[in-house]
Structure 1
Amino acid sequence: MTHVFLGSEALTAGKVTRYELRTLYVRVLPNVYAPKRVPLTLLDRTRAAWLWSKRQGVITGLAASALHGAKWVKSEVPIELNLANNKSPKGVLTRNETLRDDEVTRVRGMPVTTIERTAFDLARRLPVGKAVQRLDALARATHFKIEDVLELAGRHPGARGSPRIPAALDLVDAGAQSPQETWLRLLFINAGYPRPETQIPVPGPNGLPKYFLDMGWYEFTLAAEYDGEQHRLDDAQYRGDIGRSEYIERLGWRRIRVLAGDTGSSILRRAELAGLRR
């Protein structure tokens, strides 16, 4: 036994003894077990929650978005299930909501809300800023169509959180490569600056894209980029960044380089000094 499993099924099938179940495995959820001393991935925890539901629950929310390929979902997030059970164990969040047949698909053998239904749920359950971060990641992985999500929302006019859906969807941009980039883009938009374009191609000598800028404004020849820790800690990337910076500057682009810890007010001040106008 190497993955999460139902203890009762394993005992009945003779795959483990009660002694082995007690000594070699740890209970993850009621009747759900996993090998001891093996870290559980998000997929493991998702499957464990589904097994706990007696294979009746439909995976929704962040766990569903991760199954559809969205990045930046931490392994410890609550696993959300659409299930008629209001006594879920710790780490599992259940809701009993209306799901149509065409709003459910299967991923890795488990029932999961479709991409469009997952986007609908993320848009209405989270504050707009957080929702856009999650929707950006889902859009980058799946390239879902906004109009398809809005059409689905029209089927559920009374769903909790529905009023915030249009605002969140209007801000979605599949060009964001991290939650930090989404945060930075929203910072400019919420401050009244023009909406930046994302993943701006910088042509090489042959005319083909040589680099891509995180976001920016052509009319101001100004870009804003979020530099993660790897830009400083990875020597090869650090050296590559120097050549990239020199090339981009030769083409006339100015850049606002944002680091972890930079405050929103300081970033906006630098943008204004660089010539960005509201």
Structure 2
Amino acid sequence: MGEVFIGSEALGSGALTRHELRRFHDRLLPDVYQARGQPVSLRDRTVAAWLWSRRRAIIAGAAAAALHGAQWISPSEPIELIWDNGRPPPGLVVRNETLADDEVTRVAGLPVTTLARTAFDLGRYLPRARAVARLDALMRADSFSSEDILLLAKRYARARGVRRLREIVPLVDRGAASPKETWLRLLLIDAGLPIPTTQIPLYDERGLVAVLDMGWEEFKVAAEYDGDQHRSDRGRYAWDQKRSRLVAGMGWKDIRVIKEDHADEVISRVRDALISRGWHP
């Protein structure tokens, strides 16, 4: 058996003996197993959590977001379930909350909170920056309506974190291609700079030249986050150099940010560039 399964069910059906279960399988959760030696993915852990609930729980939070297609979720992320159980094993977070019928769907055969309900929960329970990053990734994977989230906020007006959720929803932008791009966008907004447009395409007579992470078209100023792959991949590095020259040749000031940059320095560089192009704080 290669899939995640309930041990007692396998024994009861005769598919495995107790000896085979103990010797050839690893226990993921109480009475939930997988073939020994296999890597355990986030999806495996999600299925295991649902099976542990005896197929009664609803998958929520980051695990639900991953099932909806959101990226940037660690395989070790705690699996969140909505169910009535006060003593979950390590690695699970179980909340006994109200779920209406229109807040549950099925993805790949698993009961999962809908896009709107998943976003509603992520926005309430996570710190602001992480919540926006999660919601950016979720919206990038499968666009949802902010109005649907706010309707849930109205439905559950007294629920934990609803006030913070209302502040977060206007910040969500599906143009963020990574959590670091979300971080950079929030850093600039919180510094009092104009809200940037994300994923700005630049064209010349030959076609598409570049897509800028974020920027201000009125002032031709852009801000982009360069991850480690920009330096470790020689081909990517060479293209970045050529791309920078093309973007500059089109009249843009492109502020490139790396993880070693201090936040205050980044803000200062972008602010100075905007002011030099005519922006008035």
- Is the TM value for this pair above 0.5? yes
Deviation at residue 15 of structure 1 after TM alignment: 1.7
Aligned position for 1:131: 131
Distance 2:13 2:228 in 1: 49
Mapping of residues 13-162 of structure 1, within 5 Å: 13-162=13-162
Aligned position for 1:274: 273
Count the aligned residue pairs: 277
Counterpart of 1:170, as a letter, is P
Aligned position for 1:244: 243
Aligned position for 1:259: 258
Q: Does the 8 Å contact 2:193/2:271 carry over to 1?
A: no
Distance 1:205 1:54 in 2: 60
Q: Which moved more, 1:252-261 or 1:98-107?
A: 252-261
Aligned position for 1:224: 223
| Superposed CA RMSD | 1.1
TM-score (norm 2): 0.96
Q: Which moved more, 1:212-221 or 1:39-48?
A: 212-221
TM-score (norm 1): 0.97
Structure 1: 4+ residue segments shifted above 4 A? none
Specify the SS of the correspondent of 1:274: helix
Deviation at residue 90 of structure 1 after TM alignment: 0.4
Deviation at residue 181 of structure 1 after TM alignment: 0.2
Q: Does the 8 Å contact 2:209/2:243 carry over to 1?
A: no
Deviation at residue 219 of structure 1 after TM alignment: 2.4
Distance 1:267 1:158 in 2: 39
User: What is the percentage of aligned positions where both structures have the same residue?
Assistant: 53
Deviation at residue 30 of structure 1 after TM alignment: 0.3
Q: Does the 8 Å contact 2:209/2:246 carry over to 1?
A: no
Gaps of 5+ in 1: none
Distance 1:140 1:275 in 2: 28
Specify the SS of the correspondent of 2:199: strand
Distance 2:30 2:188 in 1: 47
Gaps of 5+ in 2: none
Distance 1:255 1:169 in 2: 28
Q: Does the 8 Å contact 2:86/2:94 carry over to 1?
A: yes
